[in-house]
Structure 1
Amino acid sequence: ADGFTAPEGYTVKIDESTGEITVTADESKLNKDTKEEFDVPVTVTYPDGSTDDAKAKFKLDTDGDGKPDT
């Protein structure tokens, strides 16, 4: 979304044709202070052309146990 800046250490890409959101972390920039949960603002467009603003929540699992570390 316009004006959105990903937290330090993350890159966020949105494929506007599919709506898929990809978040990647630069492991060299991750540390104990890295934000582990954040929202990405998105605009949802329905088949009838109407829209809604929403947030896609992302949570980081830094220790690999399958659960977000929040």
Structure 2
Amino acid sequence: MAALVKAEMGADPFSGTIYVFRAKRTDRIKLIFWDGSGVCLVAKRLEDGEFHWPRMQDGAMHLTAVQFS
């Protein structure tokens, strides 16, 4: 996933930015980020409901802190 961030987004996966990937099913996400000592990958699946996503801008979705939480 770090290679995908670099190749497709042209971004640095080791910058501390949290990159959120969603599955086709809207109840699943994966987060990748650098915590200073290594790359962390977190996966989450909701038992009920789904994640709601903002519109895409420049090929990416930008989440505010409120949307992220």
- TM interval, shorter chain, is under 0.3
Greater relative contact order, per chain length (Cα 8 Å cut-off, separation 6+): 1
Greater percentage in helix: 2
Greater percentage in strand: 1
Scaled by the length of structure 2, what TM-score is found? 0.27
For the pair shown, the structure with the greater C-alpha radius of gyration is 1
